[in-house]
A and B are shown apart, each in its own frame.
Chain A
């Protein structure tokens, strides 16, 4: 069985920054990534990021991934990224089981483990919601922006949060028609800059609307939508039919962290962080010493906070392994301050409340 010092699961912004941070303190790191490409959500994001300068705001997500990967390369064989490698089990003796290339199965034992597995897109319940043609908005973004493939010709976007609105705009950029964006909420959730861009391009954003059913035999052919009242109940007689071959579901993300639950880390449902999350210290350590969490896996936020958390968690995980750099305190305070700034202001209210409930 292979033994490693620090195992990082996931190579999104959180995992990459954690690896860089731990390696810069002197730790040896193995990063597991189930995709064939590192970078997590960043690899499909073509828009300029919001956030602050220290987290590369106003760069495109794809470019941020490249910046982080070139930093990783500076550490040579101190950081190894193993691709096509899915962590599928996490056991009491800190053994993680791995499925490689969809056929090899083996164990890795680590002295410290950092979970940076990100998030998954929630689905929505309505008749025929399983028809091919109905995809997570992120999946459509991957198809378009990573592979340059048209998801279809006419798209209905369900969800007017940032992701729904950004992906709609990117669909238009790729020359694909977006017939409407709808949201059950009475208000648009996305930042105004993104929503106004869509409105200017003539895409209707229908608030207080939901999907009643999808229609199609082998693939999606049409969608029936309707209005909802203030208790989110469908209002009879308000049905509208759209002939579409693609429906994107963008109704939020949930933290992906079953591995931590399997290991027996204390978990709690925290609505402000969008689902079950591990309880953790201010330094991202879970209820089991030596097991850390960072990024969306610890609560849905943004790439900017995922990076700052990654740096903090990587620093502290390495310190726990005996790699305490001379500027340890100073670096720790810098990352804590960055997180505090990112979560300040009214936008951060929800996150701050969630953090309080999930603190050990």
Chain B
């Protein structure tokens, strides 16, 4: 799902970053946010809504709407659209509000 050729933009992908999504190994690139890397890997459902448990994807991608909140390294409610991917990150789908450690 990555754009290989573009008439005006070039994408210098940084080095590969390895992380897990619900325990599954995944690869993204340095400089990508968690939500972007997941989207490139075909993962669109990032969380389940608080009450009706409906699927949630990102919506604004600028950290404003909270639709992309996930559990990252055990921390709930991380806005994955503005949080950069890091080597070894543990990313999990968030169901409901999440628990504070």
- B-contacting residues of A (Cβ < 8 Å)? 34-36, 46, 60, 84, 86, 102-103, 120-121, 123, 130-136, 138-139, 142-151, 173-175, 218-219, 256
Chain B 1-41, CB-CB to A under 8 Å as 1, else 0, gives 11101111101010000000000000000011100100110
Asked if B40 contacts A132 (CB within 8 A), the reply is no
Known: A34-B82, A36-B33, A256-B64. 14 other contacts (CB 8 A): A46-B8, A46-B9, A102-B83, A130-B54, A131-B55, A132-B57, A132-B58, A136-B59, A138-B61, A149-B3, A175-B3, A218-B44, A219-B44, A219-B55
**Which B residues are in CB contact (< 8 Å) with A120?**
60, 62, 64-65
* A136 in contact with B1 (CB, 8 Å): no
CA distance A150 to B83 in the complex (A): 19
CA separation between A84 and B44, bound complex, in Å? 23
Q: Which residues of B contact A145 (CB under 8 A)?
A: 9
| B77 proximal to A (CB < 8 A) | yes
Nearest-CB residue, chain B, relative to A123? B59
- Give the complex CA separation of A46 and B44 in angstroms: 25
Q: Provide the bound-state CA to CA distance between A145 and B61, in Å.
A: 12
Complexed CA–CA distance, A264 and B13 (Å): 45
Interface contact A36-B6, CB-CB below 8 Å: no
Most buried by B among A60, A146, A148, A151: A148
Shortest Cβ distance from A100 into chain B, in angstroms?
Answer: 12
Nearest neighbor of B65 in chain A, beta-carbon distance = A120
List A contacts of B2 (CB < 8 A).
148-150
Secondary structure call for the B interface: loop
B82 — which chain A residues lie within 8 A by C-beta? 34-36, 84
B89 lies within 8 A of chain A by Cβ? no
> Are the CB atoms of A133 and B1 closer together than 8 Å?
no
Q: Contact: A121 with B75, CB < 8 Å?
A: no
Contacting pair B57 A149 (CB below 8 A) = no
Q: A102-B77, A132-B55 are in contact. Are A148 and B11 (CB under 8 A)?
A: yes
Contact B61 A139 (CB under 8 A): yes
Complex contacts, B40 vs chain A, CB 8 Å: 147, 149
A138–B64 CA distance with the chains assembled, in angstroms: 12
- Interface residues of B, Cβ cutoff 8 Å to A: 1-3, 5-9, 11, 13, 31-33, 36, 39-40, 44-46, 49, 54-65, 72, 75, 77-79, 81-84
Residue of A46, A134, A136 most packed against chain B (CB within 10 A)? A136
Instruction: Indicate whether A218 sits within 8 Å of B55 (C-beta atoms), given known contacts A34-B82, A102-B78, A102-B79.
Output: yes
A to B CB contacts below 8 Å, 10 in the list: A120-B64, A138-B61, A139-B60, A143-B61, A147-B32, A148-B3, A148-B6, A149-B3, A149-B36, A218-B55
Q: Contact: B55 with A136, CB < 8 Å?
A: no
Contact between B36 and A147 (Cβ–Cβ < 8 Å)? yes
On whether A139 and B3 interact (CB within 8 A), knowing A102-B77, A145-B9, A147-B33, the answer reads no
Given the known A-B contacts A143-B39, A148-B9, A149-B39, are A219 and B57 also in contact in the complex, defined by CB atoms under 8 Å? yes
Q: In whole angstroms, how far apart are the Cα atoms of A131 and B54 in the complex?
A: 8
Interface centre among A134, A139, A147 (most CB of B within 10 A): A147
Q: How far does the Cβ of A122 sit from chain B's closest Cβ, in whole Å?
A: 11
In the complex, which residues of chain B have a beta carbon less than 8 angstroms from the beta carbon of A143? 36, 39, 61
CA distance A135 to B82 in the complex (A): 15
Q: State the 5 A-B residue pairs at the shortest beta-carbon distance, nearest first.
A: A132-B57, A148-B11, A139-B61, A132-B44, A147-B36
Please report the C-alpha to C-alpha distance between residue A146 and residue B12 in the assembled complex, in whole angstroms: 11
Contact: A136 with B60, CB < 8 Å? Answer: yes
A142-B82 Cα distance, complex, nearest whole Å: 11
A65 smallest CB distance to B (angstroms): 14
For the complex formed, measure the closest distance between the CB of B17 and the CB atoms of chain A, giving whole angstroms: 13
Partner of B8, one of A134, A173, A175: A173
Min Cβ gap B7→A in Å is: 6
